[in-house]
């Protein structure tokens, strides 16, 4: 027994047993802890999946709702009927056109319409004009409804042309053809034969002569499409004339006791004779000769510009002065049968509001200004003094 007390064999065996038990206990503790973490991980993963599914479902509802709203706008569904007039000018782009449609209540989502227009090449189709559209029209129909009769589009090349005051219809046609707006023959045919039913001041009954538009093509600066439809190009000038001759101007015409054509004919004579500062005095000479003819004038206007219009000669000859033409105001009393040019607004106003004078004659002075006289004797003295 005493030897066993000092023997290491028993001690070693006991120590191994204790260590083994300790190791097993630690392993059980470790396994127990890992199991808790695994369970926590499983719970955390399940919550993430659930949140993801909730997000996906919510996003689907949102996308579906937005998609439905966009589809309604695209296809013109569930809209209260509304009609609107949209004017597209050459200053517009797709952004401004889209805004006009939105402001008119024809579309709801500007960005979506712009996106559709980009896909549909709308810029190549939409052109200048005034269009009547409604909420029954889907995106494609709105674009189709804004296709211009001019043949031009928002992306088409344009040219700016200034029509001078006093140009005749033929001169305007030549200028537009020169600038590439339209073909000369097509412009002449439109001037002769196109029915401009929107303008009751145009003679749409007696076709065949370009002079039927004389006086009504308002001189101004215009932006045209290159290769524009000829009738539409001339229609721009008629539209501007109609705009200039507003209610106030037309009241003056009615109160004048003369027709619109007569006023424009007088205005055209003024336009071709004025130096720019004497329109009303020239108007007074014309009215005095028409309404209170003197012995010397005998009701003859004797205005060279009308004969120049008829002959095409800037320098009149003796043969021209004897020409048998209604535009020869040396032989025919009263006004010529049509205006001889397209007058500006100031000449039209002068024809409506002439100066009140006793003048019957005028001649161009050395300074480029007209000198007016009351009698033929005074007129001859002025002429003598200019030699």
Q: What is the pLDDT of residue 3?
A: 46
Greatest mean pLDDT among 13-22, 83-92, 153-162, 360-369: 360-369
- Do both 197 and 322 map to the same domain? no
Chain centroid to CA 99: 15
Q: Which of 75, 100, 130 is the last residue of a domain?
A: 75
Check whether residue 279 and residue 203 sit in a common domain. Answer: no
What pLDDT score was predicted for residue 2?
45
Arithmetic mean of pLDDT over the chain:
86
The set of long-range contacts for 356-362, using a CB threshold of 8 Å and a minimum separation of 24, is: 356/284, 357/281, 357/284, 357/285, 357/288, 358/288, 359/281, 359/284, 359/285, 359/288, 360/285, 360/288, 360/289, 360/294, 360/296, 360/297, 361/285, 362/273, 362/278, 362/281, 362/282, 362/285
Q: Worst-scoring range by mean pLDDT, 22-31, 160-169, 316-325?
A: 22-31
* 238 lies in the same domain as 266: no
Q: Within a domain: residue 152? A: no
pTM, full prediction: 0.72
Query: Do 127 and 238 fall into the same domain?
Result: no
Q: How confident is the model at residue 141 (pLDDT cuts 50, 70, 90)?
A: confident
Tell me: do 88 and 68 sit in the same domain: no
| 196 pLDDT tier (thresholds 50, 70, 90) | very high
Same structural domain for residues 237 and 260?
no
CATH of the domain at 129: 3.30.1490.480
- Note whether 184 and 235 are same-domain residues: yes
Q: Are residues 184 and 113 in the same domain?
A: no
Residues 334 and 276 in one domain: yes
Domain count, the chain: 4
Where do the H-state alpha helices sit in 76-157? 94-103, 110-120, 139-144
- Give me the CATH number covering residue 180: 3.30.1490
Is 294 within a domain? yes
**Are residues 219 and 201 part of one domain?**
yes
Residue 151 lies in a domain: no
Whether the pLDDT of residue 169 is over 80: the answer is yes
Q: What is the pLDDT of residue 215?
A: 97
pLDDT band at 105; cut points 50, 70, 90 = very high
Point out the domain boundary residue: 31, 47, 75. 75
- Tell me the per-residue pLDDT of 267-313, one tens digit each, with 9 for 90 and over: 999 999 999 999 999 999 999 999 988 888 988 999 999 999 999 98
* 231: its two tokens: 């009738």
**285 lies in the same domain as 370:** yes
Show the domain range for 178: 158-244
Which one of 214, 244, 274 terminates a domain? Answer: 244
Interval 315-371: pLDDT, tens:
888 898 999 999 999 999 999 999 999 999 999 999 999 999 999 999 999 999 999
């Amino acid at each position: 027994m005493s030897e066993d007390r000092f023997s290491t064999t028993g001690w070693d065996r006991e120590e191994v047993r204790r260590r083994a038990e300790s190791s097993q206990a630690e392993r059980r503790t470790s396994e127990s802890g890992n199991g808790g973490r695994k369970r926590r991980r499983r719970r955390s993963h399940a919550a993430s999946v659930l949140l993801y599914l909730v997000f996906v479902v919510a996003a689907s509802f949102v996308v579906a709702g937005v998609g439905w709203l966009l589809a309604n706008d695209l296809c013109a569904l569930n809209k209260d009927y509304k009609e609107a007039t949209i004017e597209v000018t050459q200053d517009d782009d797709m952004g401004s056109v889209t805004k006009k449609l939105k402001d008119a209540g024809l579309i709801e989502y500007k960005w979506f319409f712009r996106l559709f227009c980009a896909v549909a090449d709308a810029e190549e189709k939409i052109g200048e004009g005034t269009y009547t559209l409604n909420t029954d029209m889907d995106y494609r129909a709105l674009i189709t409804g804004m296709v211009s009769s001019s043949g031009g589009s928002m992306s088409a090349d344009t040219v700016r042309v200034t029509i001078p005051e006093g140009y005749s219809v033929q001169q305007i046609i030549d200028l537009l053809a020169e600038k590439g707006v339209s073909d000369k023959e097509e412009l002449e045919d439109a001037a002769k034969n196109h029915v401009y039913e929107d303008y009751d001041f145009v003679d749409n009954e007696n076709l065949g002569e370009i002079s039927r538009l004389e006086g009504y093509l308002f001189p101004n600066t215009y932006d045209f499409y290159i290769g524009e439809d000829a009738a539409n190009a001339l229609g721009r000038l008629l539209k501007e004339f109609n705009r200039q001759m507003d209610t106030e101007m037309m009241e003056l015409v009615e109160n004048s006791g003369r027709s619109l054509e007569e006023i424009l004919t007088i205005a055209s004579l003024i336009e071709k004779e004025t130096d720019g500062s004497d329109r009303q005095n020239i108007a007074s000479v014309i009215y005095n000769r028409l309404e209170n003819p003197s012995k010397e004038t005998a009701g003859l206007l004797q205005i060279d510009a009308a004969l120049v219009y008829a002959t095409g000669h800037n320098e009149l000859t003796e043969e021209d002065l004897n020409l048998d033409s209604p535009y020869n105001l040396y032989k025919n009393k009263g006004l010529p049968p049509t205006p001889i040019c397209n007058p500006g607004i100031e000449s039209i106003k002068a024809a409506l509001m002439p100066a009140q004078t006793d003048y019957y004659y005028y001649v161009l002075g050395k300074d480029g200004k007209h000198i007016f006289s009351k009698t033929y004797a005074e007129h001859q003295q002025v002429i003598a003094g200019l030699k």
